[in-house]
Amino acid sequence: MSEFELIQHYFTERQSSPSYIPLGIGDDCALMSARVGMQLAISSDMLVAGRHFFADANPRMLGHKSLAVNLSDLAAMGAEPRAFTLALALPEVQPDWLRDFSEGMFFLAEQHHCQLIGGDTTKGPLNICITVFGEVPIGQALRRDAAQAGDDIWVSGALGDARLALAGYLKQQALSEADHQQAALRLHQPSPRITLGLALRGIAHAAIDVSDGLIGDLGHILKRSQLGATLWCDSLPFGPILAQQNTALCREYALAGGDDYELCFTAPSAQRSAVLAAAKQADTVVTRIGYIEAEAGLRIVDANNQPLSLSHQSFDHFSS
């Protein structure tokens, strides 16, 4: 199968192009129009076999996850998905693998009305790089540098089950087959919090998606906003499988695990009911887990206000 036939077979648009994409796959570039009063939000994420996923990973789930991690970045900006490109390096053409991968990817793309508009395909070690394009009204993006002292800190959904599933694969934790399977859904099938991100426009100040662990990702907000924070470790929403483990492990994986793809955001305390209404509208649970303060640094305290030692380091691809 030639490169052209492969693209034609697996990666052509499934729906007719929306009006804002006058030209999709097949030319040197795609053409896309932005609506009046909107800014484009653009992000790329690369997934490398052996680093971000096991080389024998289920291709349908991999197709889902490759797009989901990118959509999660749009969610964290309060941007609405519009289109994406796919750059793919494949060691060989395996029709079953390509069919399942593209189905997993397109299923999620269609849910979010996000159109595949181009890409690149080459032979090489398995590597998947997606770039997403979203839209946000000018000036309304939820930026990392916009937190303010006194803001509440919130997180969506639940934390740590994806890290627990990884620990199961790596034999770091013993889990029952049923528990491992359920936790593994969080690792392989993250749900990008797009609806919540959109509902938080005009309510939240700063936001980030939790991909590398809460401490590290909240740290990016603090650094960019030049502020500090206190986090309540006994208020963290542990994933339901993780919650059955001991407290130390729950805290470690919720604070420093990776792959949660939840939103961590800050909002003024006067907006608490608006935050809860936005979460309800988005059908997503949110939990208040601390507050932003002027004093630099991150303090983590338990329910008795006792400090927790900060030995947890955010997962960093260059240090491990």
Q: Is 132 in the site for ligand ADP (CB under 6 A)?
A: no
Q: Is 27 in the site for ligand ADP (CB under 6 A)?
A: yes
The residue (of 4 and 54) whose beta carbon lies closer to Mg ion is: 4
Q: Is 194 in the site for ligand ADP (CB under 6 A)?
A: no
The answer to the question of whether 151 is labelled as a binding residue is no
**Segment lying near ligand ADP (by CB under 6 A), choices 66-74, 119-127, 186-194, 196-204:** 119-127
Q: Residue 225: what are its φ and ψ, rounded to 5°? A: -95, -5
Closest CA to 211 of 198, 220, 223: 220
Q: Is 105 in the site for ligand ADP (CB under 6 A)?
A: no
Residue 119 interacts with, from Mg ion, ligand ADP, none (CB under 5-8 Å by kind): ligand ADP
Token readout for 119 is 């890409």
C-alpha to C-alpha distance for 273 and 36, rounded to whole angstroms: 31
Token readout for 252 is 């470690």
- 47 near 54, Cβ under 8 Å? no
- 207 near 78, Cβ under 8 Å? yes
Q: Is 118 in the site for ligand ADP (CB under 6 A)?
A: yes
Question: Binding string, 93-122, against Mg ion, x = CB under 5 A?
Answer: ---------------------------x--
Strand partners, 135: 40, 80
Q: Is 17 in the site for ligand ADP (CB under 6 A)?
A: no
Q: Count Cβ neighbours within 10 Å for each residue of 13-40 and write b for 16 or more, e otherwise.
A: beeebeeebeebbeeeebebeeeeebbe
Give me the residues that bind Mg ion (CB under 5 A), please: 120
Give me the residues that bind ligand ADP (CB under 6 A), please: 7, 11, 25-28, 86, 88, 116, 118-121
